[in-house]
């Protein structure tokens, strides 16, 4: 069946393994397209997409916009910081006003967990969650798994450790769901205060020693400390955090094998990862960003094929 099981992409937890395989196969095709001299296809000439960003973003916002333009969709961009949200307009009023301009699809980043689900229950458009608070970031997990598949041949059977601030990370939760769905084994590693209490209940082991975690894994996904989501201190100091949970060249060279290093960005160089590691051949950080465009083209294309285009 060449169709997604969902009408919105709200979280990985709503997807099936077949959905992810279909997204990957479609992304394979678009990756070939964006490496051509003419990087554009006319597939979505009749679709209008609104990118609504209520939180800061570099990679996700630009990657969605580029993906939409590569598919020939019409694109409008909305940033909460310069909008009438600042005058007290609600989320539903904001989106309904945008939809009345005959918009077919909404890509939304929002600081509140569940904002995409809430919107999907109140408006008549296809919704893509581009990150909702500390909840899910589904396209990031898809591009991460796609990049592992590209570097290691498959995701199934691979051992992946997610390191750092798991508690505040939407990337961690979406990655855990996607990796498990595709047959990978997942561990997390970080300060006890930054590992959610439910983590073992969703089939994820905790390894508190970074070297042991790196010896175990094929892939280490290094996460940023999300200071903007913290109102208390979760560890004594940044220096001590780096000593215990930062990867550096000496640590990687002390392992018995070469592992793949990932990071969703933005990187705090010298905190969770040193520059010589981030910029090394073991790192696939820029491949992740590059694959983000093909993955988002695939998601948009597959969801657009399920929506009824507005009559003009």
Residues carrying an active site annotation: 59-60, 87, 109, 137
State which residue, 158 or 263, has the beta carbon closest to ligand CP: 263
x/- track of binding to ligand CP for residues 239-268 (CB under 6 A): -------------------------xxx--
DSSP collapsed to 3 states, the chain: CCCCCCCCECCHHHCCHHHHHHHHHHHHHHHHHHCCCCCCCCCCCCCEEEEEECCCCCHHHHHHHHHHHHCCCEEEEEEHHHCHHHHCCCHHHHHHHHHCCCCCEEEEEECCCCHHHHHHCCCCCEEEEEEECCCCCHHHHHHHHHHHHHHHCCCCCCEEEEECCCCCCHHHHHHHHHHHHCCCEEEEECCHHHCCCCHHHHCCEECCCHHHHHHHCCEEEECCCCHHHCCCCCCCCHHHHHHHHCECHHHHHCCCCCCEEECCCCCCECCCECHHHHCCCCECHHHHHHHHHHHHHHHHHHHHCCCCCCCC
Q: Decide if residue 183 touches ligand CP (CB under 6 A).
A: no
Would strands 105-110 and 219-222 be described as parallel, antiparallel, or unpaired? unpaired
Least gap, CB of 53 to ligand CP (angstroms): 9
State which residue, 183 or 266, has the beta carbon closest to ligand CP: 266
State which residue, 11 or 264, has the beta carbon closest to ligand CP: 264
In angstroms, the CA 90 to CA 113 distance is 16
Q: Which stretch binds ligand CP (CB under 6 A): 6-14, 56-64, 220-228, 294-302?
A: 56-64
Least gap, CB of 109 to ligand CP (angstroms): 7
**Number of chain positions touching ligand CP (CB under 6 A):** 9
Q: Decide if residue 35 touches ligand CP (CB under 6 A).
A: no
Least gap, CB of 247 to ligand CP (angstroms): 18
Q: Decide if residue 58 touches ligand CP (CB under 6 A).
A: yes
Least gap, CB of 289 to ligand CP (angstroms): 8
Q: Which stretch binds ligand CP (CB under 6 A): 44-52, 57-65, 234-242, 275-283?
A: 57-65
Q: Which of 13, 41, 46, 59 binds ligand CP (CB under 6 A)?
A: 59
**Residues in region 139-158 near ligand CP by CB under 6 A:** 140
State which residue, 58 or 193, has the beta carbon closest to ligand CP: 58
Q: Decide if residue 227 touches ligand CP (CB under 6 A).
A: no
Least gap, CB of 3 to ligand CP (angstroms): 27
Report the interface residues with ligand CP, using CB under 6 A.
57-60, 131, 140, 264-266
């Amino acid at each position: 069946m060449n169709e997604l099981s969902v009408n919105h992409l709200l979280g990985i937890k709503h997807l099936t393994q077949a959905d992810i395989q279909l997204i990957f196969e479609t992304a394979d095709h678009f990756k070939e397209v964006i490496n051509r001299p003419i990087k554009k296809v006319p597939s979505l000439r009749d679709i209008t997409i609104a990118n609504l960003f209520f939180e800061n973003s570099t990679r996700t916002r630009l990657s969605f916009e580029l993906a939409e333009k590569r598919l020939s969709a019409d694109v409008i961009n909305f940033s909460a910081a310069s909008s009438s949200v600042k005058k007290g307009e609600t989320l539903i009023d904001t989106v309904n006003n945008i939809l009345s301009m005959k918009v077919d699809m909404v890509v939304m980043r929002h600081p509140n967990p569940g904002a995409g689900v809430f919107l999907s229950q109140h408006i008549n458009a296809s919704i893509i969650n581009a990150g909702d608070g500390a909840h899910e970031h589904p396209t990031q997990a898809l591009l991460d798994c796609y990049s592992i598949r590209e570097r290691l041949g498959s995701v199934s059977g691979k051992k992946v450790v997610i390191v750092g601030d798991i508690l505040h990370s939407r990337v961690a939760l979406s990655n855990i769901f996607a990796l498990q769905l595709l047959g990978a084994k997942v561990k997390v590693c970080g300060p006890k205060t930054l590992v959610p209490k439910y983590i073992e209940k969703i089939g994820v082991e905790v390894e508190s020693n970074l070297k042991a975690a790196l010896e175990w894994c094929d892939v280490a996904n290094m996460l940023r400390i999300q200071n903007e989501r913290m109102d208390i201190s979760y560890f004594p100091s940044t220096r001590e955090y780096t000593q215990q949970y930062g990867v550096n060249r000496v640590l990687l060279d002390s392992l018995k094998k070469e592992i793949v290093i990932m990071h969703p960005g933005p990187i705090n160089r010298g905190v969770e990862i040193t520059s010589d590691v981030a910029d090394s051949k073991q790192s696939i950080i820029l491949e992740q960003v590059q694959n983000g465009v093909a993955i988002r083209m695939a998601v948009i294309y597959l969801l657009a094929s399920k929506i009824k285009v507005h009559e003009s």
